[in-house]
Amino acid sequence: MKKYSNNVKQQQQQQKQQQQQQQQQKHSKQPESIIDHYFRIKPTDVYVIEGDNTELKCQINPDIDNYGPVQWSKDGFLLALIDLDMPSTIVVSSF
């Protein structure tokens, strides 16, 4: 009986892991080809020591119509609004 309960627990854990993987896939980044289409300079992940500044760079492809406002945010907080005709660089201090 104990072996059966271990198998049930393992199956439940596997199902939970599969559900988590499916959720992550749903919320994954857009395919690179779409990102390449919108950005002339793509934003990238940056790792920085807490308390240090970091520089983030991005530029929208000017040939795209109706791309909406460009803004920088961190954890949902607005950091800056950007002039669409200029390459965008922002220096961020870690909070």
Read off the pLDDT of residues 6-49 as tens digits, 9 standing for 90 and up.
566 777 777 777 777 766 655 455 555 555 667 777 778 888 88
Predicted structure pTM score: 0.39
Strands annotated E in 1-95: 39-41, 53-60, 71-74, 77-81, 88-93
Q: Which domain holds residue 79?
A: 32-93
Residues 24 and 61 in one domain: no
Q: Report CA 63 to chain centroid distance, whole Å.
A: 23
Q: Answer yes or no: do 38 and 25 share one domain.
A: no
Q: Is the pLDDT of residue 58 over 70?
A: yes
Structure tokens at 20: 């988590």
Q: How many domains does the chain have?
A: 2
Is 39 in the same domain as 60? yes
